[in-house]
Amino acid sequence: MIDSSIPEGGDQATLSPVVSLSGVSVAYGSNVVLTDVTLDFFAGRITALLGANGAGKSTLIKALSGANPRYSGDISIEGTLLHLSSPVLAKAHGISTVHQKVADGIVPGLSIAENVMLDDLANASRHPLRNAKQSLLDARAALATLGLDWPDSLLVQDAARLSISDAQLLVLARALRGTPRLLILDEPTSALTAAEAERLFTVLRSLRDTGLSIVYVSHRFGEIEALADRVVVLRDGVVQHNSERPFAWNAILHDMLGRATELEQTRVDVRRGHDVVAHVSGVPLLPAAPPLDLEVRTGEVLGILGLIGAGKTELAELLAGLARPASGSLSLGGEPYAPKRPSDALRRGVVLVPEDRQRQALLPGWSVAHNISIPFLKLSSALGTLRGAREISRAQQVIDSLGVVTAGPSASIDDLSGGNQQKVVVGRWLSAEPRLALLDEPFRGVDISARREIGDRLKDLVAAGDAAAVVLSSDIDEILEVADRIIVLVAGAIELDAYADETDRASIVGAFLGARTRDHSAVPPEGHPK
């Protein structure tokens, strides 16, 4: 379904870049999220931007689109050095961005035509009175750049009624107004069907042929294989890979998923679990995914590796009682397990360290002790009356066992660093002495020492023999470091299930790749395993 013909490319040496970045860095406080990025974007080229979560893709896009003026280094457009201080300025200099969430780009209640012309509302040089007839004409002209011939009767309809793919095209048409020189597309196909995506690709190819430079962000290798002229990989804020066709997919994946230096780091203490504590049978994790079967065993740390949309969080929520299986069943300790809500899961000894610490775990403004005791209010009270001493002693145990850096149990959680907050959250849940501990992206925004500390406590937990831990992550190194058994999850299906000493980084990467390419029936990349 995807046209995989090799796009023609000109001789790069003769071209000067449309947009050129030199030594661009971005730091939030002491946290450096983009380091010394030097890149050129050429006219008539599609550059694919790849990277795992938190690799710095969106930071780079924000800097380019003027949404984050606090970058250092130089960005020049057609040889002129500029400081992109606002989205309006970036747009005025020909950099147009289509953000990932199409819905955020559509203002419901305004007509389609008004939505196409939305930028005019923020443009002080435009006449403040809106002329309905003129905006219809303008909107039609803008849509014509995409070859769209929408009738006026459609243009006056509420934009909220557009299908997602038409909305995507609308947002694209808006981005193309004023004939940009660089078009940035962030995961444009994430909500589209294959046919809709193909329609978009045709448009993008013809735009490229008119000389537009396009930056295309995607997780879908098949699309990139079909569309891109160049692939740039970011990891930990650094450009790890920058190559032209033909693409060396194995190298790209290595650069994307992990540091090669850690490749040969071998684990000597891999445990083999014994009893099955939780059993998932025939449950589809995603609407379109096949039914999944999975066994979680006591005495081992299970690492589940998957990118965004693979079904990791869905699996965690299923087991923690936040969601119910669409079909199939769960069992826990050999008995049927159908938690209706988190308290049911908690009662059966299943705990979840959720993905988003701030939103899902912390109680802002509360003390460390009160943050820790919140699931254990019953244990911390007598006849309903809270006993402060019990809360303090539980908190002190957590602080001691995980080495939380804090002034004490009574300190405000807001005063702790991100890593220490995460230790508090993990410690809170491990202090429940769970039978099954689920940790969804537990190492995000956590420094290496906190990560080691948390990993060690997980190993302690399972070493006792009758508990299991599941770490869900999109970072191969985190998984290799902490997991005894590794599962690669792609699009809701298990692509690999092996003990850490029976597999290696290459096989894990291969498992990813196999699934990805199979998914999109693109040209099989070199080095495809099996």
Q: Stretches 46-54, 208-216, 358-366, 458-466: which one binds another protein (CB under 8 A)?
A: 358-366
Does 361 participate in binding another protein (rule CB under 8 A)? yes
Q: In degrees, to the nearest 5, what angle opens at C-alpha 239 toward C-alphas 233 and 242?
A: 60
Q: Stretches 115-123, 351-359, 469-477, 485-493: which one binds another protein (CB under 8 A)?
A: 351-359
In angstroms, what is the minimal distance from the CB of 409 to another protein?
15
Which residues are CB-contacts of 192 (< 8 A; sequence separation ≥ 6)? 164, 165, 168, 200
Which SS3 state, helix, strand or coil, does residue 189 take? Answer: coil
Q: How far apart are CA 437 and CA 332, in angstroms?
A: 13
**Number of residues near another protein (by CB under 8 A):** 30
Does 386 participate in binding another protein (rule CB under 8 A)? yes
Does 380 participate in binding another protein (rule CB under 8 A)? yes
For residue 382, what are the β-bridge partners? Answer: 385
Q: By C-beta, is 1 or 382 nearer to another protein? A: 382
In angstroms, what is the minimal distance from the CB of 361 to another protein?
5
Q: By C-beta, is 89 or 322 nearer to another protein? A: 322
Q: How far apart are CA 115 and CA 137, in angstroms?
A: 13
Among 342, 349, 445, 527, binds another protein (CB under 8 A): 342
65: nearest Cα among 195, 217, 208? 217
* Alpha helix positions (H), 76-235: 87-92, 102-105, 112-116, 132-144, 152-155, 164-176, 194-209, 221-227
Does 360 participate in binding another protein (rule CB under 8 A)? yes
Does 381 participate in binding another protein (rule CB under 8 A)? yes
In angstroms, what is the minimal distance from the CB of 521 to another protein?
40
For residue 408, what are the β-bridge partners? Answer: none
Q: Is the dihedral of CA 339, 345, 348, 350 positive or negative?
A: positive
Question: What does the DSSP 8-state code read for residue 342?
Answer: H
Q: By C-beta, is 381 or 396 nearer to another protein? A: 381
Q: Stretches 166-174, 201-209, 362-370, 481-489: which one binds another protein (CB under 8 A)?
A: 362-370
Q: By C-beta, is 258 or 354 nearer to another protein? A: 354
In angstroms, what is the minimal distance from the CB of 362 to another protein?
6
In angstroms, what is the minimal distance from the CB of 344 to another protein?
8
Among 262, 275, 293, 414, binds another protein (CB under 8 A): 414
Q: Stretches 114-122, 303-311, 384-392, 396-404: which one binds another protein (CB under 8 A)?
A: 384-392
362, 426 contact by CB (below 8 A)? no
Q: Stretches 15-23, 254-262, 304-312, 371-379: which one binds another protein (CB under 8 A)?
A: 371-379
In angstroms, what is the minimal distance from the CB of 367 to another protein?
11
Does 409 participate in binding another protein (rule CB under 8 A)? no
Q: How far apart are CA 221 and CA 524, in angstroms?
A: 11
Which residues are CB-contacts of 253 (< 8 A; sequence separation ≥ 6)? 509, 512, 513
Q: By C-beta, is 246 or 388 nearer to another protein? A: 388
Among 53, 250, 412, 417, binds another protein (CB under 8 A): 412
Q: By C-beta, is 79 or 384 nearer to another protein? A: 384
* H or E element at residue 282: strand 276-284
Q: Is the dihedral of CA 407, 409, 411, 414 positive or negative?
A: positive
Does 363 participate in binding another protein (rule CB under 8 A)? yes
Q: Stretches 58-66, 176-184, 288-296, 363-371: which one binds another protein (CB under 8 A)?
A: 363-371
In angstroms, what is the minimal distance from the CB of 345 to another protein?
8
Q: By C-beta, is 113 or 316 nearer to another protein? A: 316
Does 243 participate in binding another protein (rule CB under 8 A)? no
Structure tokens at 131: 């002329």
| C-alpha to C-alpha distances, 61 to 34, 90, 404, 436, 496, nearest whole angstrom | 11, 11, 35, 39, 33
Does 69 participate in binding another protein (rule CB under 8 A)? no
Does 343 participate in binding another protein (rule CB under 8 A)? yes
Does 352 participate in binding another protein (rule CB under 8 A)? yes
In angstroms, what is the minimal distance from the CB of 330 to another protein?
18
Q: Stretches 60-68, 200-208, 268-276, 342-350: which one binds another protein (CB under 8 A)?
A: 342-350
Q: By C-beta, is 320 or 508 nearer to another protein? A: 320
320: nearest Cα among 458, 214, 472? 472
- In 438-451, which positions are buried (b, 16+ CB within 10 angstroms) versus exposed (e)? bbbbbbbebeeebb
71, 21 contact by CB (below 8 A)? no
Does 312 participate in binding another protein (rule CB under 8 A)? no
Does 340 participate in binding another protein (rule CB under 8 A)? no
In angstroms, what is the minimal distance from the CB of 341 to another protein?
7
Does 320 participate in binding another protein (rule CB under 8 A)? yes
Does 375 participate in binding another protein (rule CB under 8 A)? yes
Does 354 participate in binding another protein (rule CB under 8 A)? yes
Which SS3 state, helix, strand or coil, does residue 234 take? Answer: strand
- In 349-387, which positions are buried (b, 16+ CB within 10 angstroms) versus exposed (e)? bbbbbbbebeeebbeeeebbbbbbbebbeeebeeeeeee
Q: How far apart are CA 303 and CA 358, in angstroms?
A: 23
Burial of 163 (0-12, 13-18, 19+ CB in 10 A): exposed
Q: By C-beta, is 308 or 386 nearer to another protein? A: 386
Q: In degrees, to the nearest 5, what angle opens at C-alpha 97 toward C-alphas 12 and 209?
A: 40
Q: Using CB under 8 A, list all residues that contact another protein.
A: 320, 322, 341-343, 345-347, 352, 354, 359-366, 370, 374-375, 377-378, 380-381, 384-386, 412, 414
